[in-house]
Amino acid sequence: MCLKGENISFGYKKNNLVLNNVSISLDRGKVLGLIGDSGSGKSTLCKILAGYENNYKGNVSIDGKEILSKGYNPVQLVFQHPEKAVNPKWKMKDILSEGNNVSQDILDSFGIKKNWLNRWPNELSGGELQRFALARALGSETRYLIADEITTMLDAITQAQIWNTVLDIVKERNIGVLVVSHEKNLIKRLCHDIIYLKDINNVLCH
């Protein structure tokens, strides 16, 4: 059971590849780190694996099947800036309802308080908002989580709390996680394996 990207090539503009023949495989239950220089295409690869970009060459499969364009995506992507991933005109309870059967246990484990649900996104801190984004992404049908710099803007204590919670949940639910971070120490601490995305040829190696 794995999320696989095979021979992925992609450019935002014609004749200007950001990813050149990249292959990556994330097993269920594993935490895989992805590092690479700024601009090497890490976020782009995350978006392709999560089905946000369609115009690529190569193949993405989830547990041996192609990504479905309809229905809940078992591959969920969480970004660095939660404020950009939520509708500012929705209350938090409505934002959460976009997820898939997010359990009370998940809300409790992220320390999401009941009264936060009636607030607007701009009435929460960055860390509180990121907890919501993660809870929303960890609904019952999620099989893979792609975490693109999810704690970069947070203080060390909040970062540790959030990652401890995420690691507990993914272990219990056998979810595979791709961790993108500039912080090599964080990656070393969290991940079972690490891959490096080179900036020019996009060769992936262990």
Ligand X SMILES: Nc1ncnc2c1ncn2[C@@H]1O[C@H](COP(=O)(O)OP(=O)(O)OP(=O)(O)O)[C@@H](O)[C@H]1O
Minimum CB distance to ligand X smaller for 56 or for 116: 56
In whole angstroms, how close is the CB of 172 to ligand X at the nearest point? 29
In whole angstroms, how close is the CB of 149 to ligand X at the nearest point? 7
Contact 81, 153 (CB under 8 A): yes
Q: State which amino acid sits at residue 57.
A: K
Task: Using CB under 6 A, list all residues that contact ligand X.
Answer: 12, 18, 36, 38-44
Minimum CB distance to ligand X smaller for 106 or for 180: 180
In whole angstroms, how close is the CB of 83 to ligand X at the nearest point? 17
Reading the block at residue 57, the tokens are 């060459």
In whole angstroms, how close is the CB of 45 to ligand X at the nearest point? 7
Minimum CB distance to ligand X smaller for 157 or for 200: 200
Please spell the DSSP secondary structure of 107-163, one letter per residue: HHHTT--GGGGGS-GGGS-HHHHHHHHHHHHT-TT--EEEEESTTTTS-HHHHHHHH
Backbone angles phi, psi at 160, to 5 degrees: -65, -40
Minimum CB distance to ligand X smaller for 46 or for 106: 46
